[in-house]
Structure 1
Amino acid sequence: MNTFLFAAAENDAIANCKAGGMGDVVRDVPRQIAERGDKAHVVVPSYGRLHQGGELKAVLNFELRNTLYTAEVYEVEPKKPISNIHHYVIHHPEIQAGGIAHIYHDDPEEPFFTDAIKYFIFCTATAEAIKQNLFGDLDVVHLHDWHSSLLLFLREYDLRYEKLRKLRFVYSIHNLAIQGIRPFENNYSSLANWFPKLRYDKETLLDKRYPDCINLMAVGIRFADAVHTVSPSYKQDVMKPSSPPEFIGGEGLEQDLVQANAEGRLVGILNGCNYKNINTEAKGEIYRNTVKALFKWLQEESKKYKADFLAHTGEKIMRYVGRNKPKFIVSSVARLTEQKFYFFKRSPEAFVQILKKLDKVEGIFILLGTGAPEYEELFRRMSYEHKNFIFTNGQSENLIDSMYLESDLYFMPSLFEPCGISQMLSMRNGNPCLVHHTGGLIDTVKHLETGFGFTGDTYDAKIQNMLDTFDLALDIFQNDKPQWKRIQTNAKKARFTWKKSVDAYYSRLYKL
């Protein structure tokens, strides 16, 4: 039996521990490992809340900032108990919940200031737990994004944790745009403040754009035994320099990734999708579920400043609750960020054109999400201006399920996409997607086979091609039902299974 440890910031196998796709991966990969008869341990920070109700397994003592730190390790109940998987959280008062999904902090003046502190503590506690054999005899440690990469720094430079050198370390990149950059010194949230006694080589740790800073994403790429991108096409993207907005590539780390590839350490494997035990809503509930979600949000104190807008959305959706159904539904579910909706933010006139095209065929566009204030404001304004744009400015799993089930076309114009899960969930329900052909969207949506894709050599070409591709999708839906049915059927048949992905993990990442 092989034994694995997953260390990450998110784990959707336990309640209230997910902000994005990383949480899905950290939930699903251990399940595949357990199906093979191997054992997986998963450890995340407690964020001051996830340890409640857990079973105390160990008290860890270790030194940081020339101070004795004491952290507690709790084993916690998962949402779905599975043999051979154990879930842990590490609790310390300084590992606090942030404002983003009660996980991450947003420090606009000093990015990563608070998060670096809590992940320094989390990673050192995890290293101490490995040293004390809390997870048994490990074979592989699988790290996810910069939040856990400090374990590789400790393996390299801290003699207390020599035991880590005997283990194989795999590092998955989920979001290369967020790199965990902090100063080497002269700052409370600096490497020198937290590890004053360690001797390390700045040259191998620094960010080439900010030489006075450590780049924790780069640490993962430079020191891991294998580096993993979550789709093959994204692997190709990140080895090229970014030139925004036309192309988002290696974000300053392309030379490190080219070197990792030359050393045979960089591997692109597509994420999987769950096709079993799916929670689905009954068909025909999309409008009722919207209304139910709106009423729920209107009662939340945190939504008071949005109350007028939510009431406006409710009034718009009520016209569809009865018999007055739209003839074509386009939907999108995403966090409202530059990655997901840059094209609409920079070119709102293109989005207006899409809404006008929909109006001609009695169609509507439903967007669900929360996120950056400037994106929320843009979409709220456009909702007031366009009767066939319904912006549900909140989060609701039931409504999301209904949107995936009942849309005619799923729209995903991501500026970049390491893998993407939304397109897989939509295709699982037989809904074609219209996507920007970048990263994992190239690997999952085939133009005119399982959906529709657009690209272009310049920004203006991308916008024009997006509109032309939207016209093409509408034309096929209205005038070529057999082809539309074929695309729907092909989308529903497409399978991106975790079994296939984890088979590749074993042979190419874990080397087992």
Structure 2
Amino acid sequence: MNNFLFVAAENDAIPECKAGGMGDVVRDVPRQISERGDKVHVVVPAYSRLHVNGTFRTNLNFQLRGFTYTAELYEVPPKKEFRNITHYVIHHPEIEAGDIAHIYHNDPTEPFYTDAIKYFIFCTAVAEAIKQEVFGKLDVVHLHDWHTSLLLFLRRYHNSYSVLKELRFVYSIHNLAIQGIRPFDDNYSSVTNWFPQVDYDAAELLDYRYQDCINLMAVGIRLADAVHTVSPSYKEDILLPSAPPEFIGGEGLEKDLQQANNEGRLFGILNGCNYKNIRRAKKRTIYRNIIKAIFLWLQEESKKYKAHFLAHTGEKVVPFLVNPPEFICASVARLTEQKFYFFKRSPEALEEILKKLEKINGVFMLLGTGAPEYEKFLRQMSRENKNFIFINGQSEDVIDSIYFESDLYFMPSLFEPCGISQMLAMRNGHPVLVHNTGGLKDTVSHMKTGFKFDGDTYDEKISNMLKSFDEVLDIFLNDKKTWSEIRANAKKVRFTWEKSVDAYYKLLYAL
């Protein structure tokens, strides 16, 4: 029996521990491993809240900033029990909940300041737990994104953790754009402040642009035994330099990625999707669920500043209880540049789409929270356009209903490492319209399971996005046979975790 440790910032197998697609991966891959009869331990930070219903397992003592720190390891109950999987959280008062999904901190003036501190503490606690064999004798440690790459720094340079060199370390890139860059010195949230006793080689860790800083995403790429991107096409994209906004590639790390590729350490394996035990919404409950969610949000203190807007959204939705629209175009995503750059830079294109929908009694429904400037922009668009329903909150019931009841799922991502939303929409038999990039290239087949747009220049992309939207509406209205075939094809296609994890075992885990 092989013994795995998954280390991540998110884990959707336990309640209230997900901000994005990484949480899905950290939930689903261990389940596949357990089905093969192997053992998995999954550990995430407690964020000062996730340990509350847990069972205390042990104290972890380690040195940081010249002091002895004590963190607590708790075993926590999952949403669903699977044999051979154990879920843990690490609690320390300085590992705080952030303002993004109660996980990440948004530090606009000094990016990653707070997050770096909490993940420094978390990773060192995990290293101590591995050293003490709290998880038993491990074969593979699977790290996810920059939040966990400090374990590779400790493995390489920290005398107390040389035992980590005996294990195989795999590093998954979920979002290359977020790199965890912090100063080496002269800052409370710096490497030297937290690890004064560690003699490290700055040249091996530095960010190319800010050479007085560590780049923790780069550390993962440079020091892991295997590096993994979550789709084959995204792997090809990131080997090339970015030329935004037309093309988002290696984000300044293409040389490191090329080197990992040349050394046979870089692999592109498509994420899977869950097709069993799906949490389903009831039919025709979407508007009821939206109104119910709005009432709940209005009672939350943190939403008080949005109260007028939430009421405005509710007011728009109430008439649909009696007279629903005839076509729903929908998007569910974190509100970031990655997901909605095209709309924010070209609001006239979004207005054009809304006009096209208005002609067929259609609406565009967009659910998400995220960057304040994107929230503000979309709230304004909602006020100005009666058929744009912006749901500025998070609700599983509303999200399930959107995936279940929309006619077209729209994903105009600037770049997309893999994407799970398109798979969830297709699973329900809904065509998707996507930008032809990264994992969207690998999962959507134009005119077979959905629709794609692209272009060599930014203006071409926007023009083709609108042309594709026309094409979608034309087929929906005038070619029911083709529309039904695309729906049926979308529902039939399978991106299974079984297939993905076969490739993990062979290429990443080398088992």
- TM-score of the superposition, structure 2-length normalised? 0.99
Q: Does residue 1:385 correspond to 2:389, yes or no?
A: no
Query: Secondary structure at 1:102's aligned position in 2?
Result: coil
Name the stretch that deviates more: 130-139 or 366-375.
Answer: 366-375
Q: Mapping of 1:9-158 within 5 angstroms?
A: 9-158=9-158
- 1:172-221 Cα distance to aligned partner (Å, 9 max, x none): 00011111111111111111111111111111110111110110100000
| Structure 1 residue aligned with 2:462 | 463
Per-residue deviation, 1:264: 0.4
| Structure 2 residue aligned with 1:495 | 494
Per-residue deviation, 1:303: 1.5
| Structure 2 residue aligned with 1:445 | 444
Per-residue deviation, 1:150: 0.5
Return the alpha-carbon distance in structure 2 between the equivalents of residues 95 and 309 of structure 1.
33
Return the alpha-carbon distance in structure 2 between the equivalents of residues 368 and 121 of structure 1.
34
Per-residue deviation, 1:243: 1.2
Query: Secondary structure at 1:182's aligned position in 2?
Result: strand
Return the alpha-carbon distance in structure 1 between the equivalents of residues 371 and 436 of structure 2.
24
Query: Secondary structure at 1:207's aligned position in 2?
Result: coil
Q: Does residue 1:302 correspond to 2:302, yes or no?
A: yes
| Structure 2 residue aligned with 1:251 | 251
Return the alpha-carbon distance in structure 1 between the equivalents of residues 99 and 268 of structure 2.
32
Return the alpha-carbon distance in structure 2 between the equivalents of residues 377 and 111 of structure 1.
21
| Structure 1 residue aligned with 2:472 | 473
Name the stretch that deviates more: 301-310 or 171-180.
Answer: 301-310
Q: Does residue 1:328 correspond to 2:327, yes or no?
A: yes
Q: Mapping of 1:32-431 within 5 angstroms?
A: 32-322=32-322, 324-431=323-430
Return the alpha-carbon distance in structure 1 between the equivalents of residues 372 and 61 of structure 2.
41
For structure 2, the 5+ residue unaligned runs are none
Return the alpha-carbon distance in structure 2 between the equivalents of residues 106 and 375 of structure 1.
14
Return the alpha-carbon distance in structure 2 between the equivalents of residues 62 and 376 of structure 1.
41
1:136 partner amino acid:
G
Query: Secondary structure at 1:53's aligned position in 2?
Result: coil
Return the alpha-carbon distance in structure 2 between the equivalents of residues 139 and 275 of structure 1.
29
| Structure 2 residue aligned with 1:5 | 5
Name the stretch that deviates more: 376-385 or 11-20.
Answer: 376-385
1:6 partner amino acid:
F
- 1:450-480 Cα distance to aligned partner (Å, 9 max, x none): 0000011000000000000000011111111
Query: Secondary structure at 1:211's aligned position in 2?
Result: coil
For structure 1, the 5+ residue unaligned runs are none
Query: Secondary structure at 2:502's aligned position in 1?
Result: helix
Return the alpha-carbon distance in structure 2 between the equivalents of residues 102 and 331 of structure 1.
25
Return the alpha-carbon distance in structure 2 between the equivalents of residues 389 and 65 of structure 1.
51
1:95 partner amino acid:
I
2:70 partner amino acid:
T
Name the stretch that deviates more: 390-399 or 225-234.
Answer: 390-399
1:163 partner amino acid:
V
Return the alpha-carbon distance in structure 2 between the equivalents of residues 108 and 290 of structure 1.
31
Name the stretch that deviates more: 58-67 or 465-474.
Answer: 58-67
2:363 partner amino acid:
I
Return the alpha-carbon distance in structure 1 between the equivalents of residues 62 and 288 of structure 2.
53
Name the stretch that deviates more: 158-167 or 465-474.
Answer: 158-167
- 1:108-142 Cα distance to aligned partner (Å, 9 max, x none): 11111111111111111111111111000100000
2:387 partner amino acid:
N
Return the alpha-carbon distance in structure 1 between the equivalents of residues 429 and 483 of structure 2.
11
Per-residue deviation, 1:18: 0.8
Per-residue deviation, 1:372: 1.4
Return the alpha-carbon distance in structure 2 between the equivalents of residues 297 and 88 of structure 1.
30
Query: Secondary structure at 2:212's aligned position in 1?
Result: strand
Per-residue deviation, 1:384: 1.6
- 1:87-115 Cα distance to aligned partner (Å, 9 max, x none): 11111111111111111111111111111
Query: Secondary structure at 2:374's aligned position in 1?
Result: helix
- 1:135-178 Cα distance to aligned partner (Å, 9 max, x none): 00100000000110010011111121111111000000001111
| Structure 1 residue aligned with 2:503 | 504
2:327 partner amino acid:
F
Query: Secondary structure at 2:320's aligned position in 1?
Result: coil
Query: Secondary structure at 1:124's aligned position in 2?
Result: helix
Query: Secondary structure at 2:335's aligned position in 1?
Result: coil
2:386 partner amino acid:
K
Q: Give the total of aligned pairs.
A: 511
Return the alpha-carbon distance in structure 2 between the equivalents of residues 48 and 474 of structure 1.
48
Name the stretch that deviates more: 62-71 or 422-431.
Answer: 62-71
Per-residue deviation, 1:53: 2.2
Query: Secondary structure at 1:87's aligned position in 2?
Result: strand
Per-residue deviation, 1:495: 0.4
Per-residue deviation, 1:325: 2.2
Return the alpha-carbon distance in structure 1 between the equivalents of residues 52 and 383 of structure 2.
43
Structure 1 segments (4+ residues) deviating >2 Å: none
Query: Secondary structure at 1:97's aligned position in 2?
Result: coil
Return the alpha-carbon distance in structure 2 between the equivalents of residues 484 and 53 of structure 1.
48
Query: Secondary structure at 2:69's aligned position in 1?
Result: strand
1:119 partner amino acid:
Y
Return the alpha-carbon distance in structure 2 between the equivalents of residues 380 and 71 of structure 1.
42
Please give the root-mean-square deviation of Cα atoms over the aligned residues, in Å: 0.8
2:324 partner amino acid:
K
1:378 partner amino acid:
F
Return the alpha-carbon distance in structure 2 between the equivalents of residues 373 and 127 of structure 1.
36
- 1:200-255 Cα distance to aligned partner (Å, 9 max, x none): 11111101111101101000000000000000000011111111111111111010
Return the alpha-carbon distance in structure 1 between the equivalents of residues 432 and 228 of structure 2.
26
